[in-house]
């Protein structure tokens, strides 16, 4: 699996990251001490990339996190006790009624914190139910300081039409990660990493019949990282005292996120080229210098984000069907030489998370 050309890892990610840093800085509007809501302690490895990119940007901007929580551990009293300049909600693709647990934490913040500025980092919005969308619009309404970033045009247009607050078209927060490399050499020309959850549009069985390797990182046969399992349990104990245990909580979150992003890149690195309908598999492949062909999910966020931020490049492409994606991937496989694999799992950038001032 050798070739003649290499996939450049820096472009266009360096320029996108610089733009995202400016967008977040402007949206924070001078806030330097924040409460951060919704560390994604879930099986989707892409959410760890969102969080890690976000922490890197906040550290670069000198923003201190005074309160940090998972969705299930949210404490409004703890937020109020810290007296933050703003409350910041994690980005992703969970604003709507597809992923209720994470969205409920957002609604709780909007319902109960009317006097603090609230910043929603880059999201996609999707409601299956019009009634649920109207209910959320009612929760977000009222005289409040609310800024919402959107990572693709459809969500921005819909939010501008139906939600109050200030709306900004931005980039996905995973673009906060700096370019890296593969972890290990490819073992197959084409790897199809395809969703097995409720956002699946392409049937994995169709891909399997093509004879290429097919998996999903939420159901990957890679052995479970026992430390991830133990750390998730430890997080619940630490949140019994979220303010007193803040340094331990942040260290634990950082460890979890770095392990999950490393695992994601290890999986992607198995393919010389990756076909995927997972947005962050496509973005992480690009960040790691792995050629990738993107397919859409059920409601258009994958291609929406890549068209907003990436466009078409030689090694980062999109397709309308699996057959088209496979043809595109096979044309790439073997024509791009493998990037250097000197990268180790512990070489991932470690964002410095500023401590909250006493």
- Render pLDDT for 243-260 as a digit per residue (tens, 0 to 9): 999 999 999 999 999 999
pLDDT for the residue 15: 93
Has residue 148 been placed in a domain?
yes
Q: Decide if pLDDT at 235 tops 90.
A: no
Q: Where are the beta strands (DSSP E) in the chain?
A: 5-6, 33-39, 64-70, 86-89, 92-96, 118-126, 146-150, 166-169, 188-193, 213-215, 271-276, 292-294, 316-318, 336-337
Residue 336 in 3-state DSSP? strand
Number of domains the chain contains: 2
Which of 132, 153, 176 represents a domain boundary (last residue)?
176
Can you give the residue range of the structural domain that contains 131? 5-176
Give the DSSP H or E segment for 254: helix 246-268
Average pLDDT rounded to a whole number, residues 222-238: 70
Place of tokens 């907003």: 308
Residue 42's domain is classified under what CATH number?
A: 3.40.50
Identify which of 21, 92, 103 has the alpha carbon closest to the alpha carbon of residue 62: 21
H-assigned helices in 129-245: 130-140, 153-162, 204-208, 226-238
Q: What is the mean pLDDT of the chain?
A: 87
Which of 155, 176, 197 represents a domain boundary (last residue)?
176
Place of tokens 């090694």: 315
pLDDT for the residue 75: 96
Indicate whether 266 and 315 sit together in one domain.
Answer: yes
Indicate whether 209 and 151 sit together in one domain.
Answer: no
Q: Decide if pLDDT at 283 tops 60.
A: yes
Has residue 356 been placed in a domain?
no
The 10 Å Cβ neighbour count of residue 290 is 29
pLDDT band at 43 (very low <50, low <70, confident <90, very high): confident
Has residue 182 been placed in a domain?
no
Which of 125, 153, 176 represents a domain boundary (last residue)?
176
Indicate whether 210 and 280 sit together in one domain.
Answer: yes
What's the pTM value of the predicted model, to 2 decimals? 0.89
pLDDT for the residue 339: 46
Torsion of CA 178, 183, 189, 193, to 10 degrees: -70
Indicate whether 171 and 201 sit together in one domain.
Answer: no
Q: Decide if pLDDT at 184 tops 90.
A: yes
Burial class (CB in 10 A: 0-12, 13-18, 19+), 61: middle
Has residue 45 been placed in a domain?
yes
Q: Decide if pLDDT at 77 tops 90.
A: yes
Indicate whether 114 and 20 sit together in one domain.
Answer: yes
Has residue 355 been placed in a domain?
no
């Amino acid at each position: 699996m050798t070739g003649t050309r290499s996939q450049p890892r820096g472009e266009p990610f360096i320029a996108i990251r610089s733009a995202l840093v400016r967008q977040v800085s402007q949206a924070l509007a001078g806030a330097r001490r924040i409460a951060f809501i919704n560390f994604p302690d879930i099986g989707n490895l892409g959410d760890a990339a969102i969080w890690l990119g976000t922490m890197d940007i906040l550290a670069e901007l000198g923003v201190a996190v005074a309160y940090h929580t998972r969705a299930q551990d949210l404490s409004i009293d703890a937020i109020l006790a810290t007296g933050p300049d703003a409350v910041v909600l994690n980005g992703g693709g969970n604003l709507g009624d597809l992923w209720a647990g994470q969205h409920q934490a957002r609604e709780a913040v909007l319902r109960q914190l009317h006097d603090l500025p609230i910043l929603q980092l880059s999201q996609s919005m999707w409601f299956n139910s019009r009634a649920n969308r109207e209910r959320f619009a009612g929760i977000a309404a009222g005289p409040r300081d609310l800024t919402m970033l959107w990572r693709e045009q459809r969500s921005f247009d819909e939010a501008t039409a139906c939600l109050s607050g200030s709306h900004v078209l931005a980039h996905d927060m995973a673009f906060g990660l700096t370019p890296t490399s593969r972890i290990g050499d490819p073992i197959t020309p084409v790897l199809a990493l395809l969703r097995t959850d409720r956002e699946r549009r392409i049937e994995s069985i169709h891909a399997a019949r093509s004879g290429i390797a097919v998996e999903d990182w939420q159901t990957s046969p890679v052995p479970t990282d026992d430390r991830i399992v133990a750390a998730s349990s430890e997080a619940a104990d630490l949140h019994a005292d979220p303010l007193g245990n803040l340094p331990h909580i942040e260290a634990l979150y950082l460890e979890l996120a770095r392990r999950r992003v490393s695992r994601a890149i290890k999986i992607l690195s198995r393919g010389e080229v990756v076909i995927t309908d997972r947005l962050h598999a496509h973005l992480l492949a690009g960040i790691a210098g792995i050629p990738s062909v993107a397919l859409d999910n059920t409601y258009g966020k994958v291609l929406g984000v890549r068209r907003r931020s990436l466009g078409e490049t030689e090694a980062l492409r999109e397709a309308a069907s699996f057959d088209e994606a496979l043809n595109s991937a096979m044309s790439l496989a073997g024509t791009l030489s493998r990037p250097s694999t000197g990268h180790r799992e512990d070489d991932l950038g470690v964002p410095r998370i500023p401590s909250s001032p006493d």
